[in-house]
């Protein structure tokens, strides 16, 4: 039996059917989609500059940009409509911080989800051996939930700014020739945003997954188990302490058969009214 078969026989794959393991697998997949759709993006827009002197015109100026969206480093050449002179124009804006922060969170979430899934499957006994494993898992899950919310919100705002900065109508305002009314500038086509829009959606879906998994991870910690045992344990302890057999004076019947209520209503040989019967007989 090779190593893979041994691991498969030892591993507890049933945990993947539980919400804790199943959601971890979804987090792993959604993290891949998040950083792949954002980190692998490349876009292009094209504008046209139609000068009065047709020889100077350029009806298809291509402008390429990509992750991490340092647009101020993206430049292109545009005609000045003054003979064959040209100018180099750069886009405006730097949105790399939000984009890189989003991708970084996605990569670390991917790595942690993969590691946690492996621990759930092959090291379940050590994970539950003490409260340290579930407690660390709970804290990391809470942190990643917050970081997904922050990074997704920041990236959504940055994406809206990128769309404005790369709008062909806005780019035309940066070209000197387009500021002259005798020249005609137009948009050939704009960038496609479906990939980046998908990355934002996956970012918020990851937040929902990680936030929802907080409860299932919390159930594995000693905090939840201790709270679950306390309400049931206290009444049992009280019942065991106070529901004992109460002291009954009439039930003390050890070797002598003593009873405080015993035979008080039966006639006695000694009578205070008549006196001892043996004495009257003698008289």
CA angle 25, 27, 32 (to 5 degrees): 100
Residue 81 in any domain: the answer is yes
Rounded to two decimals, the pTM is 0.73
Q: What is the model's pLDDT at position 226?
A: 58
Residue 280 in any domain: the answer is no
Residue 264 in any domain: the answer is no
Residue 214 in any domain: the answer is yes
**pLDDT tens profile 112-171:** 999 999 998 888 888 877 778 889 999 999 999 999 999 999 999 999 999 999 999 999
Residue 225 banded pLDDT, cuts 50, 70, 90: low
Residue 172 in any domain: the answer is yes
Q: Work out how many domains the chain is built from and give that number.
A: 1
What domain range includes position 181? 1-225
Residue 72 in any domain: the answer is yes
Residue 255 in any domain: the answer is no
Residue 256 in any domain: the answer is no
Question: For the chain, what percent of residues have pLDDT higher than 90?
Answer: 58
**pLDDT tens profile 226-260:** 555 555 444 444 434 334 444 444 443 444 444 43
């Amino acid at each position: 039996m090779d190593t893979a078969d041994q691991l498969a026989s030892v591993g507890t794959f049933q945990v993947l059917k539980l919400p804790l393991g199943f959601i971890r697998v979804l987090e792993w997949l959604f993290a891949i989609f998040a950083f792949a759709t954002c980190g692998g993006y490349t876009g292009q827009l094209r504008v046209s500059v139609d000068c009065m002197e047709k020889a100077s015109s350029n009806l298809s100026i291509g402008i390429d940009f990509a992750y991490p969206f340092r647009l101020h480093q993206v430049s292109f050449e545009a005609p000045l409509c003054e003979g064959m002179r040209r100018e180099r124009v750069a886009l405006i804006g730097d949105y790399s911080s939000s984009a890189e922060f989003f991708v970084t969170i996605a990569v670390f979430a991917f790595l942690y989800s993969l590691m946690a899934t492996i621990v759930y499957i092959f090291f379940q006994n050590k994970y539950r051996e003490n409260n340290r494993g579930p407690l660390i898992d709970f804290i990391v899950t809470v942190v990643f939930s917050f970081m997904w919310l922050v990074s997704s919100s920041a990236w959504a705002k940055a994406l809206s700014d990128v769309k404005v900065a790369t709008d062909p109508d806005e780019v035309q305002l940066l070209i000197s020739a387009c500021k002259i009314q005798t020249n005609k500038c137009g948009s050939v086509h704009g960038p496609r945003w479906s990939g980046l829009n998908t990355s934002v959606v996956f970012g918020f879906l990851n937040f929902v997954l990680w936030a929802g998994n907080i409860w299932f991870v919390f159930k594995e910690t000693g905090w939840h188990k201790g709270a679950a045992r306390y309400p049931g344990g206290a009444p049992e302890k009280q019942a065991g302490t106070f529901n004992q057999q109460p002291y009954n004076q009439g039930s003390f019947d050890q070797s002598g058969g003593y009873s405080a209520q015993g035979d008080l209503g039966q006639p006695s040989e000694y009578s205070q009214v008549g006196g001892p019967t043996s004495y009257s007989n003698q008289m």
